[in-house]
Chain A
Amino acid sequence: MARHQIRVTVNGTLHESDVESRLLLVHYLREMLRLTGTHIGCDTTHCGACTVLLDGRPVKSCTVLAVQADGRDVMTVEGLEKDGKLDPIQEGFFQEHGLQCGYCTPGMMMTGHALLKENASPSEAEIRQAISGNLCRCTGYVNIVKAVQHAATAARAR
């Protein structure tokens, strides 16, 4: 069984770990680093519940090997809050009731956060396009879109 030493920066902290080749990034984050904010949904690259940022880009962490993240930068939902202050995207989901059951929320927020870094004033269509790889089984998309719009306004005001 092949094992590898990896160095991954997660939410600003460097972690050195010994991992099996086949370990998935989502399992690494949840089970080795105990960062359980990232959810496992479908586990088949469809739902986006496991979305994290890899070098700033949102990806499905159930479809990345932990070894592929060696030397790279990962951000999970736990990395959004800074010094006790919510990220605008978290504030947006809170204010606009952007979640019902909450299962898709970490992934939705990571995708939303990444979108706002690229595009400070996205249109509704651009938001819907950006989250088209994140499924909400409560079908709460209307409020999710509002939450991202709220976050965009709040982020621009900061």
Chain B
Amino acid sequence: MIPASFDYHSPKTLAEAIGLLSKYRDDAKVLSGGQSLLPLLKLRLGSAGHLVDIGRIPGLEDIQEKDGFLKIGGRVRESEIEHSDLVRRRYPILADTAAVIADPLVRNLATIGGNLAHGDPANDHPATMLALGATVVATGPKGERTIPIEKFFTGLFETALERDEILTEIRIPVPPPKSGGAYVKLERKVGDFATAGAAAQVTLGSAGEVVRAGIGLTNAALTPVKATDAEKFLQGKKPDDATIAEAAKRAAAATDPSPDRRGTVEYKTEMARVLTTRALKRAVTRAQGA
């Protein structure tokens, strides 16, 4: 399969890339790892007159803790997140997530910025970022602005990014002591999109009670789902089995999945409940050990 004809630009700086996006607007697409965009173009489900490849722009590939945040450059590859010592040690939920995206070959090219900016509710990072309370940094002609992740996903394949903005960084607040998180995904086989997926991040207080809980769900509606009712329910409670079971029930109630070859609405809703239970239990165990 061959994509429809387009022009390709390989800017060397962010300013040059933004200039191209400003010039071509709706006729341009940002090419990062290309692992979602190129299949779309090949299948001719999408088209663009101009691809702006950000692959040669320096400074978008760092993973570092700074100023109270874990800062991940927009072009950091999934395989780097999966194998990063810092991520595995301090943010196991992120390592969980990166490790189940597509397959190892795709992860060698796919980027975290692309995973979020694509706006696909079937992608895995959105749920995790919702659970972590991340912030997206968008860079455009007027410079940088920050977008809270819960305001980022505006529709199916739609995000809060303007046509001339590039997702340049993701900021995750450094979790306080006694925090832990986990991501669990049900997939038919390696490389498949999630039948359902759940991300949970919890912080425990001195008496073992939940101080903060973040829960995000993958492929559970037309946009990534933040299970706010379940999050609020957990607050101040000891995360015992009964409490987690009730929270998972509330998370499942926040979903609105579409039936497809991966399952019926009923099945997917039930899987969202089961996976939220598992993610919460693992998150709590990790928080207790932290």
Interface on A for B, CB 8 Å cutoff?
1-2, 4, 20-22, 24, 27, 43-46, 48, 51, 54, 57-60, 62-65, 67-68, 70, 111, 129-130, 132-134
Contact = CB atoms under 8 A, between A and B. Distances in A.
A54 B77 CA distance: 14
Contacts of B35: 45, 63
Given A63-B38, A64-B38, A68-B55, A2 B6 contact: yes
Contacts of B106: 45, 60, 63, 133
B256 interface: no
Interface in B62-114: 79, 102-106, 108-109
A129 B42 contact: no
Interface residues of B, number: 30
B191 A133 contact: yes
A1 B5 contact: yes
Contacts, number: 89
A24 B108 contact: no
Interface string B18-42: 0000000000000100110011011
Contacts of B103: 48, 132-133
A2 B39 contact: no
A102 B41 CA distance: 29
Nearest to A128: B190
Contact of B105 (A2, A27, A44, A134): A134
17 contacts: A2-B7, A20-B5, A22-B2, A22-B4, A43-B42, A48-B103, A58-B105, A60-B109, A62-B42, A63-B42, A65-B51, A67-B10, A68-B31, A129-B104, A130-B104, A133-B105, A133-B106
A62 B41 CA distance: 12
A38 B281 CA distance: 45
A46 B1 CA distance: 14
A123 to B, nearest CB: 15
Contacts of B4: 22
B157 interface: no
Given A48-B105, A68-B34, A132 B39 contact: no
Contacts of B43: 44
Given A43-B42, A59-B108, A60-B109, 17 more contacts: A1-B5, A2-B5, A21-B51, A22-B2, A44-B1, A44-B39, A45-B38, A46-B191, A48-B105, A54-B108, A54-B109, A59-B109, A63-B106, A63-B109, A67-B53, A132-B104, A133-B104
Contact of A67 (B5, B8, B190): B8
